[in-house]
């Protein structure tokens, strides 16, 4: 008999639920829908994979969404797609990981994909790195930058929170909050949009949710509404 799942851990069962449309994932990661679709391979395809296999048109799970975001960060940092694909092949084989870019923490120097070797060997130390894009080659460096858009469980494992609009913005995607919908201070961004489009004032929305006006503005901006100048700035 399986042990009951703690209510505080129920969110883990939602990590694999297809909740995000391709168009939404592309919008969040600032990519085209065509790019996101191209990165996924169909079951049975012989094409080299950048991301997980997925039926054409199927929605993405949280783990697949985070992989899109991580690969997007790699590409924006200058990493070649072939290097990303090589890293995925290596990690999928060595770790038997279906979603390695969401399950592990990475660094990049714009050329290779690096991981703290401590994720494999606890005694390895903080400065020992593994080049996932070079078949597991080891190196020692403290100058390779992390992907700052993500917070990780236990500071190394699952990417548990995506600062989808950047670290300086309050919009996040977290599977533990609002079922993984983009949110600000625990409130889904679409809720702010609905209140604004119903004609409510910025101060009233902020007061009702107990947050700052700037947080409401951030949520509305994420939803495509410029409320920084008050109601006259409404799109």
**DSSP-assigned letter for residue 178:** G
Residues 6+ apart with CB under 8 A from 167: 148, 149
**Greater model confidence, 10 or 76:** 76
Give the tokens for residue 161: 């929170």
Q: How far apart are CA 226 and CA 233, in angstroms?
A: 6
When pLDDT is averaged across residues 73-82 and rounded to a whole number, the result is 93
**Greater model confidence, 62 or 146:** 62
Contact present, 100 and 88 (Cβ < 8 Å): yes
Q: Beta strand 128-131 with 113-116: parallel, antiparallel or unpaired?
A: antiparallel
Q: Would the pLDDT of 15 be above 60?
A: yes
- Condensed to tens digits (0 to 9), the pLDDT of residues 83-94 reads 999 999 999 888
Please tell me which of 9-13, 98-102, 125-129, 145-149 the model is most confident about, judged by mean pLDDT: 98-102
Contact present, 34 and 199 (Cβ < 8 Å): no
When pLDDT is averaged across residues 36-55 and rounded to a whole number, the result is 86
- Condensed to tens digits (0 to 9), the pLDDT of residues 167-211 reads 999 999 999 999 999 999 999 999 999 999 999 999 999 999 999
3-class DSSP state of 38: helix
Residues 6+ apart with CB under 8 A from 80: none
3-class DSSP state of 35: helix
What pTM did the predictor assign?
Answer: 0.85
Give the tokens for residue 15: 């990590």
Neighbours of 58 (CB within 10 A): 13
Domains and CATH numbers, the chain: 13-154 (no CATH), 163-235 (1.10.10)
Q: Would the pLDDT of 121 be above 80?
A: no
Q: Would the pLDDT of 28 be above 80?
A: yes
**Greater model confidence, 10 or 221:** 221
Q: Would the pLDDT of 59 be above 60?
A: yes
Orientation angle between helical segments 81-95 and 62-76, nearest 10 degrees: 140
pLDDT at 1: 47
Contact present, 172 and 163 (Cβ < 8 Å): yes
Phi, psi of 145 (to 5 degrees): -80, 145
pLDDT at 235: 44
Place of tokens 């903080």: 126
3-class DSSP state of 102: helix
Q: Would the pLDDT of 142 be above 60?
A: no
Does an H or E element contain 219, and which?
Answer: helix 213-222
pLDDT at 234: 45
Cα-Cα-Cα-Cα dihedral sign, residues 68, 71, 76, 81: negative
């Amino acid at each position: 008999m399986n042990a009951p799942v703690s209510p505080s851990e129920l969110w883990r069962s939602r990590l694999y639920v297809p909740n995000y449309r391709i168009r939404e994932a592309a919008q969040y990661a600032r990519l085209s829908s065509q790019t996101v679709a191209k990165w996924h391979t169909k079951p049975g395809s012989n094409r080299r994979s950048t991301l997980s296999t997925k039926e054409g048109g199927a929605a993405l799970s949280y783990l697949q969404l985070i992989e899109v975001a991580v690969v997007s960060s790699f590409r924006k940092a200058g990493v070649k797609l072939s290097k990303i694909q090589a890293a995925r092949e290596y990690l999928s084989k060595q770790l038997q990981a279906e979603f390695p870019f969401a399950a592990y923490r990475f660094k990049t120097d714009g050329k290779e994909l690096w991981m703290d070797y401590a994720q494999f060997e606890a005694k390895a130390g903080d400065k020992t790195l593994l080049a996932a894009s070079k078949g597991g080659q080891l190196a020692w460096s403290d100058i390779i930058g992390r992907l700052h858009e993500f917070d990780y469980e236990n500071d190394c494992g699952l990417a548990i929170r995506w600062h989808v609009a950047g670290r300086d913005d309050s919009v996040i995607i977290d599977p533990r909050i609002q079922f993984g919908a983009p949110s600000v201070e625990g409130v889904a961004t679409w809720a702010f949009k609905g209140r604004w489009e119903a004609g409510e004032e910025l101060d009233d929305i902020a007061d009702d949710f107990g947050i700052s006006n700037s947080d409401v503005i951030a949520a509305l901006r994420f939803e495509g509404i410029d409320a920084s100048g008050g109601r006259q700035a409404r799109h």
